[in-house]
Structure 1
């Protein structure tokens, strides 16, 4: 999920606060509870019947709010828990077959706490997403913005982990040019050759961040351009009404869901506050000689989907789309047809997606509409946060 867009005065306050790392730490700590929220799996709860033929299966349940999910070629499962409204004991975990959690890649990377900060560059601060690339490496994206507020300078990063050795083999650090205050790096996809990574920035300006993985150099494209922005005629609805902060501000979420086709030819994305699916050739995104205005004019409107948080594209070109407004997971076929794969009240804000080695689709439910920022009386979670699996019909 992205951070919420803010008014100019609020943004100015954020920029002023960014001047001091100590102030940022204090603000982040004060914005959240100091006691960590445990991330152990919960006991099984009564299950509501899934939609006919959907085969929705709960893989694991958590007390901490979960967002990202990744599945390796041999079926290993990984999830992440951002520091949004509470501290967390584990930021990134490997999920056991019994639903248990193991800090990943080790306990030290997960040792940061709001009340006991550690070295920002070598610890997880607020991990938003995880993904396994076509070569089999796990990537961990840390926008380092606890509470969706301030980016903590020196902490915004992306890690490449070798799943054979369980060691970090590359760190990409993002500076204020690629991840300025007000940005929130949201989700990432890596090309099949492992050369390029693309990240959606769902924050105040909206952008795509292009990373040359051979050098670690990152640059922003489509920064503030229409295709990465919230759509003005779309109001996100979830939980029975419009999704607004307690002060009445609407949820203006910029570029969020992201996908690459199997050949790595096209990048697809969408603003969460929006229903338009966009794409650009990877060759254009990686060509620095193309002027920003020309790049923006080359963006193709592929079609209309729904208010969506997570994307995943399989090898056949089917685009799986989470639909938080109606608790469903949908699939957009190559011919543009949208089908409901599964609709179930247990998928309360389906968030991120991954594909298993057998073609099963994994999805997290993060219950974003129940967060305290949207309720005068505080957070109102309806059930355990969870990881789900569904086997699409082929």
Structure 2
């Protein structure tokens, strides 16, 4: 029978019979369902083929790239490093990266974030809580390194009245126009206590808490995250899963410095507050609370960042993606790729790229009954955004 005389059902049946008769190797090469569509063009910058998982990344005005490795259980020979000549080396020195309990203010304990400011200084945020344990007394700090001399030039200790026993200092942004030397805004992403925003006067070193325990800095108790096909929860051997509960985490400062954006890690909502209400440590808390805005859902984010065109970026760890919010509030996806396994810190470089780490955080042993499912290499990627960083000075 010729094909011309076959009916459409007969042709479909014949095609199916031909497929069924093909060898298994051919079947494997012929997709029967649509493939996941990648969005954007992410470029690999560095592969962490050995060593601990990174969290933070930042890029200097001259293109130097710095990363950090919190001491969460991996073997961490140094907690801050610079990518130099194809390798990661301790920065500013191995001595500074070797924690000495007798010198908690002078040595680094477990760094969570690194950020280059508008004066091209590297700021190191040390929550001093290795393994998320109780904060080491006298060790929670902000440390500034002059990138010209590669020397530590300032250390600000966060006191116990501000960095509580439950506090985990997570991420930081700077506005150097405020006061004599500027201010820093830090998120407290506590796992067991209140979240909040910490403000630090960079001249005097004085610091204070705002929005402590406020709903916008707290865990969303209705939040149920799903990553790589399973509910993300703390899972210890022989025990029932416990909710993934992490307070205020991601943070970004608007290009004019007037608005602070932030979000709990255990939430999909974006919040904002006018910075002028954070800067007065004696201001009325009721007025501050009333000024907080819930800007709606943006996905579940670890890292957040802003650019000099007034746009906001937020990672989406449930969907291996990064989204961008326009000044009018509209969101688009600029990157989505299976290789972006837990996009963590975001950092806008001087070269028009958004840099970000992908560290497989959700595959850690604590989420899988003691089984570490991470597969090296961890990755540092970038995606073109044609914008520069927010640099307020």
**TM class by shorter-chain length?**
0.7 to 0.9
Match of 1:101 among 88, 92, 95: 88
- Give the TM-score of the pair, scaled to structure 1: 0.83
Tell me if the contact between 1:56 and 1:342 (Cα under 8 Å) persists in the aligned partners.
Answer: no
Aligned partner of 1:58 in structure 2 is 45
Q: CA offsets, 1:140-177, max 9 Å, x none?
A: 00001111121111111110111111111111101211
Q: Secondary structure at the match of 1:326?
A: coil
> Over residues 184-228 of structure 1, what are the superposed CA-to-partner deviations in whole Å (9 max), with x where a residue is unaligned?
000000014251100000002100001011100111110111111
In structure 2, relative to structure 1, the CA distance for the partners of 1:126 and 1:271 (3 Å cut) is same
Q: Deviations over 1:318-373 (max 9, x none)?
A: 11111110111111111222211111121111100111111101001121111111
Once the two structures are TM-superposed, the CA of residue 50 in structure 1 deviates from its matched residue by 9.0
* 2:163 is aligned with 1:179: yes
What is aligned with 1:197?
A: 184
Write the mapping of 1:303-318 to structure 2, written as runs, cut at 5 A: 303-318=296-311
Question: Which is worse superposed, 281-290 or 350-359?
Answer: 281-290
Which of 252, 264, 272 matches 2:265?
Answer: 272
Q: Which residue number corresponds to residue 123 of structure 2?
A: 139
Alignment of 1:28-177 (within 5 A): 51=38, 53-62=40-49, 63-98=51-86, 100-112=87-99, 119-177=103-161
For the pair shown, the structure with the greater C-alpha radius of gyration is 2
Unaligned runs of 5+ in 2: 1-35, 388-393
Cα contact 2:39–2:333 (8 A) shared by 1 = no
Distance of 1:225 and 1:365 partners within structure 2: 30
* Moved >3 Å (runs of 4+): none
SS class of match (1:325):
coil
Q: Given the two structures, how large is their TM-score scaled by the length of structure 2?
A: 0.83
From 371, 374, 377, the equivalent of 2:367 is 374
List aligned pairs for 1:286-365, cutoff 5 A: 286-365=279-358
User: 1:387 corresponds to which residue?
Assistant: 380
Moved more, 283-292 or 350-359: 283-292
* Distance verdict in 2 for CA 1:53–1:328, change over 3 Å: closer
Give 2:250's match in structure 1, choosing from 247, 257, 261: 257
1:307-326 residue CA offsets vs partner (Å, 9 max, x unmatched)? 00001100011111111101
Q: Residue 219 of structure 1: which of 208, 220, 237 is its match?
A: 208
Q: Which runs of 5+ in 1 are unaligned?
A: 1-48
CA positional deviation for 1:377: 4.1
Partner Cα distance (1:110, 1:287) in 2: 34
Shift of 1:374: 0.9
Aligned residues: 343
1:64-104: CA deviation from partner (whole Å, max 9, x where unpaired): 11000111111110000000022301110011252x11211
The alpha-carbon distance between structure 1 residues 102 and 283, as it changes in their structure 2 partners (threshold 3 A), is: same
| Cα distance change on mapping 1:53 and 1:238 into 2, 3 Å | closer
Query: 1:301: how far off?
Result: 2.0
Q: Per-residue deviation at 1:239?
A: 2.6
Shift of 1:53: 4.4
Mapped contact 2:42–2:381 kept (Cα < 8 A) = no
Paired with 2:149 and 2:113, the residues of 1 have a C-alpha distance of 21
